[in-house]
Structure 1
């Protein structure tokens, strides 16, 4: 079993947990607090400073571990004023903590009983008597209060009590070190009380102090009451009277934070099936560089990020690309309001929206600047470099270079993985489980009819989401071949006319196809069903769904020289994929050369498959040129290449036909000022001319 990473808000506890190798700093700090020759505290007051989350609490824990290891008779007192914030008397609480630490060890109690009683007397003079009691330590404190009553009746002064304490402390052999944490998290008056506490007992021999705080916050509190222009000066002067040595935490360099992040991720590798040598994956390294530069500043940031990722990945393992999920975890921590904007309208950020609003948004936003797009989803309070960089990394719609994107089928830039991340398994309520049972149990004609009605009434996106959620659960009762024949009938383009306006059918086909291959990967025993569906549809001449599945398998196995993207739980083997690819692309080539391929489909997946198998040749390119003599073909091809969120680079168009020739035809169409030209076509043509925006 892999070790569980620390709680994101909890500092490390022991030396073996220290991945930043702060042992030398801890050793030097310990030497300043305890004289190694006399083995007694030096009486110094040290301030360990740094901003929130920089590791101050971890330093105190490591210091305590070191001192207790080096000095068996050491008395280490931990006091956190934040835990008792709001109570009437921090001084009494502190002395109660000191007495409680003594009493916690039976051997130590007998040895230090007199010291404990005198501390109670001294504290009762410094603080209200009623606040010195601490649950669990009633006997000692009561004795101390009785001593105080006697002392007061004899008019024993604080000075006399103080000399008694000095004598007691001088007789103690071991060092006493007081560690006070979280000073900067309490109110201003409580910060001043802690300062008074240290001043009142700091010059006792045999006690050293380490105070952990953010210096700017403490200086402002100690300077309270002075004029604004003198507040900082007064606060620093006050602090200098208390703290003899102020030590800023050692600077944590970017490579150290990187090593810490990698080490924390490594603890989860086995549990969450993170790839071996994950830190060598280019996209992971790109994300880490982004995080280190603009998002992660402190070790606590690292722990909080990994803790958040651990929870999300545990719930979504195998559903969403793990690198994207790590990036989204960072976004949810650093920009929660931005994530809320995404949660409200996810179709506004994904590349394959299904809703009409989402599609129109992508089409109409083509001319908007990156800053304008970011401004519509990121509140001004979160509009900083880290947020915009993360958005661009996860969603190319917001990137400076939209072409730099994850090719993982479960990338969060796609609708299904994003919705899975946002919902965390909470199912949409627009379509019931019974609705899906009725859909999957119908004949192919009934399946087609139900999908057509959902498309017409605007509920298809909810139906697909629900289908994706429950398909694997219903798998044993589904006639998969019949069901997918029905889906094939629905997604088949009804004619071979060129598209005259953008339709979201490619996104719909992609989402439906993902339902099957994702279900096969969730349950390995269903792979045979997936292979049977593919064969049945391929034998029937279906070419929308099969082209989608075929190209995914080509990339999974790295066939025909394509980059291998990994993954084993797919329903076709590498050998089957290769055979199908050669067989189907030959058929598609013949269809293309007869002019019956591209205008008969919603996308160019069949053409891209021919490019994969090297069957796309000069004759095929020439056929495209012949078709583009018809201006309707120019419009339709522009929609396929640049419609909605699509964008095709120059080499891609050059391989398809000719980049210069196509752009020239696109310019000619725009210059014609055709009043019949649909707005989605005009924007696609303009996008092509502008180089994909």
Structure 2
């Protein structure tokens, strides 16, 4: 991976921010300055606005203009953050200046300047050393004696150590030499408050040396605050006394910054994914509300792009591009907002939950509460709420604001952060929270052959993740290649009977969702004849376990034609013509007649649906079969279990109903009750726990009104009593 360097540019050819003209003008102004007095220039700009890059281009311009000049300015970069001798910054400065000027000492005038600086620096250090001795600061004496003594001896050997005298000599030499020296001190705003104070004391004391131009680079606000904290003065006024000519870096135009960001982002994404899925309408909204408000400098751009590149490389197959860029932006530039979102998954991902709706019916009060929370975090609340409203539908002012991209299906399809199972991936690189990866799902849709399709969906179901898998497929139906439609629908129809029918209140079960999914997939096949032959092929190869699920599926087609139930349901599309439906019915009757000749079907999944369709299409054969198997007591118990229907209340109570019309035609209520009571409870474990509860529920409701409902907990209590008292 190639990361965008935060390193300052070295030349105008690398400039992305349009600073070349400004830099050249500043460099020309410094080069053409012909005053003999010292000069202090200030280059002011926020952190990340390219101050160092501008200084590099200024130096390049000075060197360019003085290319053929025998007395070209000497550029000296002084790095104050490297100094540790904080008690003698002025001495350190002149020591640094002397060393750098010695590089040019082949000229006679430069030799004189270096000698004069040696004298001045030696006198300064002698003054420091004698002040240490006189103050009897023994700790400092132990720290500095050899260094100070060396500098003193060097200065003493060279000349007399009278400070005023050597200073005057240095000034004369500088004037006589006519050598312009440009001292650049960059990144002053990165220093500590005390160091910033020391730098300005240095400039204040030596800023009037002739032919020396000081260029100070800093963030004005940071420096003013630092000076105020250590001097208890007005920082702005103090700066005005030191800096003679201020240069404000021109504000970077947003359109240019936007262009740089988008170009870098596009280049980054291309190195990771050949075909990223981007909803241009949604991306436009995300960029406007979630990214652009926070990007203010080129440094912001580079930091966000670099972090995004790292995260997206790991997560691009499991996350939405738009949401990943938005969240990366605040992770880098507004971490307090990023952390707040990460802590509030339950609120942010509950858009469609019943409990959430009940809890936050008063949307205005809810938004006010969030507004106050963001304010406490120091976040611009208007921008923060826009950010949240864009990524999380719960923050929309009203339902009318939610376009198609806010639907539950679209959020799942596009892998947005608002999807509860995917949320943690955006914050902890935790792919473990995703039950089935999008890579596996895409492979299922586009690549896997028949055997692998069956093995994969079976494994997913065995792992308890089938509902999530079906939800994912339903959201991606429109992406299934036409040539794969028949294969996928036939596989799901063949394994449908294995899926759970249990569901929470107001929620569809995996089984029901899969039924809808198959209907949707087959609907995508454009050729009606192709749809018919697909259903026919599946039906001709079913076993007894699939009789109930195929009956349920055929019944959906029946309803779309207004058959059997006597009314037409609101189903988007009739999958097959009426004539083809009649052909399908005949095939189903033939298969169930064939299977029941040798196998019992009373205990298959959805027996009630299989028998209902059979009875509608071939009443005599269906009833003859049922009357025959109900001669066995055990089958009577299986029959009542098969026709039980689950109910669930809004407080999550649940139980089983046994509608009279489903069994009174074949056997009386009294007979069923007697057979359950007579049943040897030692054989109870031959039934599943769910069927045991159904039997107990029937007994408990036997002498009650038809509207009476037995709670599952009450039925389970009776089951336990049976087991405790079995004889």
TM-score bracket, shorter-length normalisation: 0.5 to 0.7
Distance 1:587 1:469, change over 3 A: same
TM-score norm. by structure 2 comes to 0.57
Partner of 2:49: 54
Tell me how far apart the structure 2 counterparts of residues 14 and 578 of structure 1 sit (CA, whole Å): 69
The corresponding residue for 1:410 is 415
Distance in 1 of aligned mates of 2:514 and 2:490? 12
Aligned length: 512
Residue 510 in 1 paired to residue 471 in 2? yes
2:113 paired residue number = 115
Specify the SS of the correspondent of 2:42. Answer: strand
Q: SS where residue 297 of structure 1 aligns? A: coil
Matched, 1:163 2:169: yes
Deviation of residue 114 (structure 1)?
A: 5.0
Residue pairs, 1:371-386, within 5 angstroms:
371-372=367-368, 374=370, 378=374, 380-384=376-380, 385-386=382-383
Tell me the distance in 2 between the aligned counterparts of 1:30 and 1:61.
Answer: 10
CA displacement 1:14-42 (0-9 Å, x = unmatched): 32332121111111111221118x8x998
Tell me how far apart the structure 1 counterparts of residues 82 and 519 of structure 2 sit (CA, whole Å).
60
Q: Does 1:262 align with 2:262?
A: yes
What SS is found at the alignment partner of 1:179? strand
**Matched position secondary structure for 1:465:** coil
**CA deviation string 1:570-615 (max 9, x = no partner):** xxxx989997799899995644555999xxxxxx9x96x75999xx
Following superposition, the deviation at residue 300 of structure 1 comes to 2.7
Per-residue deviation, residues 467-524 of structure 1 (Å, max 9, x unmatched): 77999999999954144257579999xxxxxxxxxxxx97674258789999x99xxx
Q: After alignment, is 478-487 or 527-536 more displaced?
A: 527-536
The answer to whether residue 153 in structure 2 is matched with residue 198 in structure 1 is no
Residue 368 of structure 1 pairs with residue 363 of structure 2 = yes
TM-score with structure 1 setting the length: 0.59
- Per the alignment, residue 214 of structure 1 pairs with 219
Mapped to 1, the partners of 2:185 and 2:575 lie a distance apart of 66
**1:25 alignment partner in structure 2:** 22
Aligned residues of 1:76 and 1:177 also touching (Cα < 8 A): yes
Confirm or deny: 8 A CA contact 1:80 1:183 kept in the other structure.
no
Residue 329 (structure 1) shift:
0.9
Give ranges in structure 2 of 5+ residues lacking alignment: 131-146, 497-510, 536-552, 577-646, 651-708, 710-727
User: Aligned runs of 1:238-637 on 2, under 5 Å?
Assistant: 238-273=238-273, 281-291=280-290, 294-350=293-349, 360-361=355-356, 363-369=358-364, 370-372=366-368, 374=370, 378=374, 380-384=376-380, 385-400=382-397, 402-404=401-403, 405=405, 407=410, 409-424=414-429, 426=430, 428=432, 465=435, 479-485=452-458, 509-510=470-471, 532-538=487-493, 544-545=513-514, 590-592=558-560, 610=573
The CA RMSD over aligned residues, in Å, is 5.4
Q: Contact conserved, 2:393 with 2:402, CA < 8 A, in 1?
A: yes
Checking the alignment, whether the CA contact within 8 Å between 2:105 and 2:114 is kept in structure 1 is no
Give the Cα–Cα distance (whole angstroms) in 2 for the partners of residues 263 and 361 of structure 1: 40
Contact 1:320 1:410 in 2 (8 A): yes
Distance 1:113 1:250, change over 3 A: same
The CA distance in 2 between the partners of 1:313 and 1:215, in whole Å, is: 36
Distance, in Å, in 2 between the alignment partners of 1:483 and 1:117 is 84
CA-to-aligned-CA distance 1:115-145 (integer Å, 9 cap, x gap): 3454344234445479xxxxxxxxx999865
The answer to whether the 8 A contact 1:117-1:141 is kept is no
Distance in 1 of aligned mates of 2:148 and 2:230 = 36
Q: Is the 8 A contact 1:177 1:209 kept in 2?
A: yes
Q: 1:348-404 CA distances to partner (integer Å, 9 max, x unpaired)? A: 322588xxxx76335533433351463597472244223222222221222346514
Alignment partner for residue 35 of structure 1, among 23, 32, 37? 32
Distance 2:464 2:532 in 1: 21
Shift of 1:102: 4.1
Bigger RCO (CA 8 Å, 6+ sep): 1
* Cα pair 1:54 1:300 within 8 Å, conserved: yes
Q: Say whether 1:185 aligns with 2:190.
A: yes
Task: Determine the C-alpha separation between the residues in 2 that align with 1:212 and 1:65.
Answer: 17
CA contact (8 A) 1:481 1:533 kept: no
State the partner residue of 2:716.
none
Q: SS at the partner of 1:209?
A: strand
Report if the CA contact (8 A) 2:317-2:438 is conserved.
no
Distance in 2 (CA, whole Å) between partners of 1:247 and 1:535 is 73
Describe the shift of the 1:226–1:172 C-alpha distance in structure 2 as closer, same or farther (beyond 3 A).
closer
Aligned to 1:148: 155
Question: Secondary structure of 1:211's match?
Answer: strand
- Which structure 1 residue ranges, 5 or more long, are not aligned? 131-139, 429-461, 493-504, 522-526, 560-573, 598-603, 614-634, 639-675, 677-693
Cα distance in 2 for partners of 1:490, 1:477 equals: 20
Larger Rg: 2
**Cα separation, 1, equivalents of 2:451 and 2:87:** 69
Matched with 1:5 is: 4
